[in-house]
Amino acid sequence: MGRAGTVMDDLLNDFLAETAEILAEAGGALVAWEADPADRAQLDAIFRLVHTIKGSSGFLSLPRVTALSHGAEDALDQVRRGNRTADGALVTGVLGIIDRLSQLCDTLGQKGVEPAGDDSDVITALATRDEAADAPAEASDIQLRREDDLTTELQGWRSIRVPLPLLDSVMTGVTDIVLARNEFARMLRESGANPSLIASFDRLSDSIAGMRQSVSQMRMQRIDKLFAPLPRVVRDLARDLGKKVRFATSGGEVELDREMMENIRDPLIHIVRNAIDHGIETLDERVLAGKDITATIQVSARQSGNQIEIEVRDDGRGLSPDALVAKAMASRILGAADARALTPREKLELIFRPGFSTAAKITSISGRGVGMDIVKANVEKIGGIVELRNEEGRGLSILLRVPMTLTIISGLMVRAAGQYFAIPRGAVREILLETSDSVRIERLGGGEIATVRGEQFPLLRLETILGRARDHRDDVEDRALVLVRPGQGQSYALSVAAIHDHEELVIKPAAPMIMATGLYAGTTLPDNGRPVLLLDVQGILAAAAIDASEAGRQMDQAVEAEAAAAAERNAAQLLLFRDINGRTRGVRLSVIERVEEVPALALFESAGQVQVQIGDDIFPVHAAKLPENHGTLKLLRLHDGQSVLCYPIDAVIDIVRLPDLVQPAAAPGLIAGVLLVNGEPVELIDPFWLMEQYAGGAVVSAQHQPICRIADDHDGWGDNFLAPILRNAGYRVVAESSDEAPDVLLCLTDEGGACAHLGGDVPVIRLRASVAAASPDDDTVYRYDRGALLEALRRRVGGARA
C-alpha cells in the first residue's frame, strides 16, 4: 500500500468511528421521536444524522452505505415535507436501515472494503408508501448535497478525532507534572527560597493548573452518549417480550471520563435488559398486582462528590431473597448450611455469584451465561461498586457508583486516628472547629447531633466509622467538623481530629477489596509521597446507616409527588383488552375488580345462564355458551359495588387514559360507543347495560343482603312461597324467632293494621290475600303481585345496605 492507501485508511477509520456514534445516537433519537411524532426538532436531528452518513459515504464511494442512507433520508424528508405521516412502520423501517448500516460498517472495519450485497429489501420496505408520491431515486443518481447542507453540521468540521492512547499519554504526562510540581513546592517551602523564585514558580504552577483542567475536560463526555443506545434496546426487547415499558433518563448532562464510560457501557445495557426480561412482570401479572400496566425503567445519573452514580430503577417484581437462595441451591453454588447463615443482604448478593442466573429458565434475551458477576467485575475494575436496593414486589434499583475520572481533584486533607485522609473538596460545604461558638454538639439517644447556626446535622465521628480509637496525641482543641454534602438534598457533619490543608490530588482507584469496604473512593499520592485514602462521603453515610436528607425540602417534594400521583389516579383510565371474538374493546378500569384466570372447567351452564365457580362463589358470566377449549380462561371481574359479573376476554392489552371523545352507540347495548386510542377504534363496553342484564341473577354477598323477617306466617305460606322469591331477589330471610334485627318486616295478616310485630323503626310491609285493595288508602300489597312486592321492598330498604 502506498501513501494514498494510508490516507484512505485514515479517512475510512474516521468515517467508521463517526458513523458508529451517529448510528447509536440516531437509534435513540428515533425511538424518542416515535413516542412523540410531533417533535419536529427530533425529526430534523435524525434527518441531519442520516444525511451526514450519506455525505461522508459518497466521498469514500461506498455505494451500499450511500443507497441505504439515501433511502432513510428520503423517507424522513417525505415526513418533513408533510407528504407522509410518521408511524410505527416508518420507524421500524428506518431502524432496519440503521441495523443494516451497522452490519455493513462492522464488515467494513474488518475487511476494509464494502462487501457486495443487496439492500433492496430494507430500502423497499421503507419506500413502499411513497412510491406514488415520489419516484424512487436510482442508486447511481443520488444527490450527495442538498440545498440546506451548508447550514447543517458546520460545527462537525471544527472538531478532530484523537486516538484514545494519545489522550492517555497526555494525561499521564500531566499527572506526573502535577506530582513533580507538588514535590518541588514542598522543597521550595522547606528551603526558604527567595520571593522572586517563589513568584516565578507560582506562575508555572498556575499554568500547570490550567493545563490539567483542559486535559481533564478533553477526556470528559456527557453521559448522554452512554444512554443513547438504551431507548432502542428497551423498545426492541419490550416488543419481543410483549411488555409495555416507559423508559426515561435523567442527568444526561453529567460528565464522565471517556474511559470510564467505555467500561460501564456493557454493564449498563446488561442491567437494563435484565430489568425488562426478569424484573418487569407480564401485562397480566401487573394488572393482578394492581400496578400500572406500563412499567417504568428510569436510568438516572448524578454527580456526588467525585463519583458518578448511575441508577437503573424498575418498578417490576424486585428480587425475592428466598427464591434467590432456592435458585442458588438448585444450581449447586450454595450449600444448605451456608444458605441458613446468610443475611438478607447476602441473599440478594447471590445474584453476583458466578454461574447464577435469576431467570427460572434461560431465555434467549439475558440468560447467555454473561451474568451479574461480569457486571460487578467490570465496574470494580475501574474502582466502582454495585449496590442493590430491593423492594420485593415493587421494584429493584441497581446503583453503579464509579469514580468520575482518574484525573485530579481538589481535596481537603483531614486527620483521624493518627492518619491522613482526603475528602473531595466539592462535597465540603463548610469547615468549623468543634469549639466554635456557632456549633452545639449534643448526645441524643446514643447518637450525636451538631447544631450549626440553628441548622441540625447528624454527627459522625470519623474514628468510629473507621473502627479505630482516637489517637492520644490529638489535641481536642483541633477537632473540627466538616459539613459534608454528599449528594443533592443530603448533608451531615463529619467530626475529624484535625484539618490539614487543601491539595490537588491525583486520584486512582483502590484495589477492589478496599473499595468493597464502601468507605473509600480511591487512593491518592500527595506531595509527601505517602499514599492517602480518599473518603467516600456517600459510602460513609451508607455505612453509618443514618438518614441525612435535608428534611424540609424533601418533605415538599414528597407532597408534590403524592399530589401528582393522586391526580394520575383520579384521571379515568381505560383497560384495553382483546375480546374472545378478536376485537379490541375497552372498559373503565374502575369497574374492574380484578382479572381472574380460571380453568375452562370452572364454567358451567345453569338455567340458560353460563356461570363460573371461583373459590366458594358462583358468578354469572357474560357468554352465550360454554367455551369449547379446555385450557384456561381469562375473566374480567366487573364489580358495581354490589354484584359481580365475569366477562371472558382473550388478553389484556394496555391501560390508557380514557379519551374525552366517545362516539356514542345508536341504541343501548353492550357497546356504549366507539373511541380512538392511538389512532385505532376501540369499542367501549357499557358496564351499566351489562350489569342490568345480569342484575337479577347476581349473587349478592351475604353482608350486603337486607334481612327480611316474615311475621304471622301461620300456614307456612311465607316460608314455602314467599321466602324463595325474596332470596332470589337478594334478600336474606330469617325465621320469626330469630334475634337478628331485620331491615324489613313482612306481615302476612289480613287484620288491617293489627300487625302484632310493629316495633321500633323497622319498616313493615303487610300482604293481603285478596286481589282487590280494601280501600283507596290501603297500603297493603297483594301477596301474589311479585312486582309490587319487590317494589315495596326496594322502597323500604333501598335494595341493599350501604
Near other proteins by CB under 8 A: residue from 139, 170, 177, 179: 179
Strand residue runs (E) in 173-231: 220-222
How wide is the angle at C-alpha 563 spanned by C-alphas 560 and 564, nearest 5°? 85
Measured from the CB of residue 517, what is the shortest distance to other proteins in angstroms? 5
Near other proteins by CB under 8 A: residue from 165, 467, 716, 787: 467
Q: Which of 726, 660, 668 is nearest to 692 (CA)?
A: 668
Q: Which is nearer to other proteins, 227 or 520 (CB)?
A: 520
Measured from the CB of residue 370, what is the shortest distance to other proteins in angstroms? 18
Provide the b/e sequence for 176-200 (b: ≥16 CB within 10 Å): eebbebbeebeeeeeeeeeeeeeee
Q: Which is nearer to other proteins, 529 or 798 (CB)?
A: 529
Near other proteins by CB under 8 A: residue from 332, 340, 530, 630: 530
Q: Which is nearer to other proteins, 170 or 788 (CB)?
A: 170
Question: Secondary structure of 453-481 in the HEC alphabet?
Answer: CCEEEEEEEHHHHHCCCCCCCCCHHHCEE
Measured from the CB of residue 506, what is the shortest distance to other proteins in angstroms? 8
Question: Secondary structure of 565-627 in the HEC alphabet?
Answer: HHHHHHCCEEEEEEECCCCEEEEEHHHEEEEEEEEHHHEEEECCEEEEEECCEEEEECCCCCC
Q: Which of 46, 141, 143, 139 is nearest to 90 (CA)?
A: 46
Helix H or strand E encompassing 400: strand 395-403
Phi, psi dihedrals of residue 673, rounded to the nearest 5°: 170, -175
Q: Which of 583, 647, 651, 652 is nearest to 610 (CA)?
A: 647
> Would you count residue 509 as binding other proteins (CB under 8 A)?
yes
Binding footprint of other proteins, residue count (CB under 8 A)? 33
* Residue 654 backbone zone (phi > 0: left; psi -120 to 50: alpha; other: beta): beta
Provide the 3-class DSSP secondary structure of residue 394: coil
Near other proteins by CB under 8 A: residue from 529, 696, 753, 798: 529
Cell of 588: 373503565
Q: Which is nearer to other proteins, 131 or 176 (CB)?
A: 176
Measured from the CB of residue 494, what is the shortest distance to other proteins in angstroms? 14
Near other proteins by CB under 8 A: residue from 63, 109, 512, 799: 512
> Would you count residue 262 as binding other proteins (CB under 8 A)?
no
Segment interacting with other proteins, rule: CB under 8 A, options 306-314, 464-472, 604-612, 720-728:
464-472
Q: Which is nearer to other proteins, 39 or 387 (CB)?
A: 387
Cα 39 to Cα 43: distance, rounded to the nearest angstrom: 7
- The residue to which cell 325474596 is assigned: 726
Measured from the CB of residue 385, what is the shortest distance to other proteins in angstroms? 14
Q: Taking the chain, what is the end-to-end CA distance rounded to the nearest angstrom? A: 91
Q: Which is nearer to other proteins, 58 or 424 (CB)?
A: 424
User: Looking only at residues 186 through 205 of this chain, which bind other proteins when binding is defined by CB under 8 A?
Assistant: none
> Would you count residue 419 as binding other proteins (CB under 8 A)?
yes
Measured from the CB of residue 525, what is the shortest distance to other proteins in angstroms? 5
Cell of 489: 438534598
> Would you count residue 514 as binding other proteins (CB under 8 A)?
yes
Segment interacting with other proteins, rule: CB under 8 A, options 112-120, 175-183, 694-702, 719-727:
175-183
42 class by beta-carbon count within 10 Å (0-12 exposed, 13-18 middle, 19+ buried): middle
Measured from the CB of residue 93, what is the shortest distance to other proteins in angstroms? 44
Measured from the CB of residue 195, what is the shortest distance to other proteins in angstroms? 30
Near other proteins by CB under 8 A: residue from 513, 666, 667, 771: 513
Provide the 3-class DSSP secondary structure of residue 112: coil
Cα 331 to Cα 665: distance, rounded to the nearest angstrom: 58
User: Looking only at residues 767 through 786 of this chain, which bind other proteins when binding is defined by CB under 8 A?
Assistant: none
Measured from the CB of residue 257, what is the shortest distance to other proteins in angstroms? 15
Cα 159 to Cα 362: distance, rounded to the nearest angstrom: 45
Q: Which is nearer to other proteins, 367 or 418 (CB)?
A: 418
Cα 420 to Cα 500: distance, rounded to the nearest angstrom: 8
> Would you count residue 525 as binding other proteins (CB under 8 A)?
yes
> Would you count residue 510 as binding other proteins (CB under 8 A)?
yes
> Would you count residue 173 as binding other proteins (CB under 8 A)?
no
Helix H or strand E encompassing 385: strand 385-391
- Cβ–Cβ under 8 Å, residues 620 and 646: yes
Q: Which is nearer to other proteins, 420 or 782 (CB)?
A: 420
Helix H or strand E encompassing 44: helix 40-59
Measured from the CB of residue 543, what is the shortest distance to other proteins in angstroms? 8
Near other proteins by CB under 8 A: residue from 175, 274, 366, 405: 175
Segment interacting with other proteins, rule: CB under 8 A, options 101-109, 239-247, 459-467, 763-771:
459-467
Segment interacting with other proteins, rule: CB under 8 A, options 129-137, 461-469, 544-552, 671-679:
461-469
Q: Which is nearer to other proteins, 520 or 647 (CB)?
A: 520
Cell of 725: 322469591
> Would you count residue 520 as binding other proteins (CB under 8 A)?
yes
Q: Which is nearer to other proteins, 334 or 638 (CB)?
A: 334
Provide the b/e sequence for 112-145 (b: ≥16 CB within 10 Å): eebeeeebeebbeebbebbeeeeeeeebeebeee
Measured from the CB of residue 359, what is the shortest distance to other proteins in angstroms? 24
> Would you count residue 521 as binding other proteins (CB under 8 A)?
no
> Would you count residue 511 as binding other proteins (CB under 8 A)?
yes
Near other proteins by CB under 8 A: residue from 338, 568, 692, 778: 338
* Residue 686 backbone zone (phi > 0: left; psi -120 to 50: alpha; other: beta): beta
User: DSSP state, 116?
Assistant: P
The interface mask with other proteins, positions 532-551, x = CB under 8 A, is: xx------------------
Q: Which is nearer to other proteins, 72 or 324 (CB)?
A: 324
> Would you count residue 517 as binding other proteins (CB under 8 A)?
yes
Q: Which residues bind other proteins (CB under 8 A)?
A: 175-176, 179, 338, 377, 381, 417, 419-420, 465-468, 506, 508-514, 516-517, 519-520, 523-525, 529-533
